[in-house]
Amino acid sequence: MTEWHVITCEYPPKIGGVSDYAFLMARELAKAGDAVHVWCGNSPGDCPQSDGVTVHRELGQFSPRDLLHAAKLLDQFPGPRRLFVQWVPHGYGYRSVNIFFCLWLWMRARIKGDQVQIMFHEVWLSFGGTWKANLAAAMHRIMVALLKHAASRIWIGGESWKKYLRGARAPIGWLPVPSNIGCEVDPSRVASIRDRCSVNDGPVAGHFGIGDALVEERLRALIPGLLREQPGVCFLLIGKTSERFAREMREACPDIRTHLFSTGTLPSTEIAAHISACDLMVQPYIDGISTRRTAAMAALANGRPLLTTSGHSTEPFWFRCNQLAIVPAADGDALVAKARQLLQDHGERARMALSGRKLYETLFDVSVSVGVLRGTRPPLQEESIELVVQQMKL
């Protein structure tokens, strides 16, 4: 039995992508037979329980005192300990410049001999903002340098991160981020949602994960153009800020207000039901679809046809996939035209739904990540993914 110590800045009941990922990976590693300890900060509310997973809140506010206290508790476990660290630069407090945390990990590796595996969900803040943001970006690079020297293994959610981690001594592996939304839904609940969010049982397009300003800009052009040209279509916005965005859209475009719906914050099972109620999921990304996009993965996992965009972060194999539809991120007209075409083609949507789910189960399901982490299957490579994609076309 392998013993994992998952170090994370977020964990339920705290809401967030890293929280969902840490919970999912801890639960699935435990299901596979490993012992799992999660080390995280304080968070009010009840923590969901998973068999085989022990949660330690001793990281508190990630202050030096909290880190020293957690270190003493970690030392009680037999070494070398296997640490699986969830890294986002803004997650560990101190206004995203907690260099103490990075030094702590370096010391765990160099002095205590722990095996530090780091999952980079993000790497650092880019330069080009305010002087404060640029100062934080510079500090992030120092922090990442420490992490690279601490790591015995580095994992990246998307291939585009690899160029930012040049010079790392540890091997860098590709670990696509699986959907953090379940796939088991009640058909009667899906039917109820469709009754509420469709007009005369017309098609429903959807989007999951409102919040990014640049994505919202694309949706502001897409939604009115789509609903005005196809009066029978409705659009469902899914996510914690969807009500705010829908309100703004209704005020700006009152003629589409009766065809635009939103959910607000929902539990995982309800998100899955709302995704399943959509005939087409539209997920535009400015930097393009990649294997770190959990909302796109949720659409594929739930067997919904996916329309998305390509950009500088898009891995090459996506362009060979016929399991989903892709248009350039900068071409708003192409996005509207493709959405309109797919909403009129039930047969193509059905094909995409089935093949998209198969693509997800073969390459991106959480079982794939667990197998890679446990060493029971090799890490994904561009060549192996290309081979799978080509075989699925046959």
Q: Contact 126/137 with Cβ under 8 angstroms?
A: yes
Q: Contact 77/118 with Cβ under 8 angstroms?
A: no
At 21 the three-state DSSP class reads helix
* C-alpha dist (Å) from residue 376 to 31, 97, 371: 15, 36, 5
Six-digit token string for 363: 């390459």
More confident call, 384 vs 72? 72
More confident call, 1 vs 272? 272
Q: What is the number of alpha carbons within 13 Å of residue 19 lying toward its C-beta?
A: 13
pLDDT beyond 90 at 134: no
pLDDT at res. 167: 87
* pLDDT class of 126 with cuts at 50, 70, 90: confident
Indicate the DSSP class of residue 315: -
Mean pLDDT throughout 126-154?
89
Domain ranges of the chain: 3-174, 187-363
270-299 per-position pLDDT tens digit: 999 999 999 999 999 999 999 999 999 999
Mean pLDDT (the chain) is 92
pLDDT beyond 90 at 199: no
Mean pLDDT throughout 247-271?
92
Mean pLDDT throughout 206-218?
87
pLDDT at res. 161: 87
pLDDT beyond 90 at 211: no
**Cα–Cα–Cα angle for 137, 309, 205, nearest 5°?**
120
pLDDT beyond 90 at 105: yes
* C-alpha dist (Å) from residue 18 to 6, 25, 26: 12, 10, 12
pLDDT at res. 341: 95
pLDDT at res. 383: 80
Mean pLDDT throughout 335-363?
95
CA distance 368 to 391: 18
Cite the DSSP H helix spans in the chain.
17-31, 64-74, 99-110, 131-150, 187-197, 213-229, 242-252, 268-276, 294-301, 332-343, 346-363, 366-374, 382-393
What CATH class is the domain 187-363? alpha beta
360-378 per-position pLDDT tens digit: 999 999 999 999 999 998 8
pLDDT at res. 96: 87
Cα–chain center distance at 268: 14
pLDDT beyond 60 at 394: no
Q: Contact 2/374 with Cβ under 8 angstroms?
A: yes
User: What does the radius of gyration of the chain's CA atoms come to, in whole angstroms?
Assistant: 22
Provide the pairing of β-strand 115-120 with 82-87. parallel
DSSP, residue by residue, 321-347: --SSEEEETT-HHHHHHHHHHHHT-HH
Q: For the domain 3-174, what is the CATH code?
A: 3.40.50.2000
pLDDT beyond 80 at 393: no
User: Of the given ranges (150-159, 237-246, 253-262, 384-393), which has the lowest mean pLDDT?
Assistant: 384-393
Fold match between domain 3-174 and domain 187-363: yes
Overall pTM surpassing 0.95 (yes/no): no
pLDDT at res. 363: 92
Six-digit token string for 26: 């801890």
pLDDT-above-90 percentage for the chain = 71
pLDDT at res. 380: 82
pLDDT at res. 214: 82
Sequence letter at residue 334:
A
162-188 per-position pLDDT tens digit: 888 988 889 999 999 999 888 889 999
213-231 per-position pLDDT tens digit: 888 999 999 999 899 988 8
Indicate the DSSP class of residue 380: B
Which residue's structure tokens are 């005020």?
A: 251
Which residue's structure tokens are 């309800």?
A: 270
20-72 per-position pLDDT tens digit: 999 999 999 999 999 999 999 988 777 888 899 999 999 999 999 999 999 99
pLDDT at res. 328: 96
CA distance 107 to 276: 47
Six-digit token string for 108: 């765990």
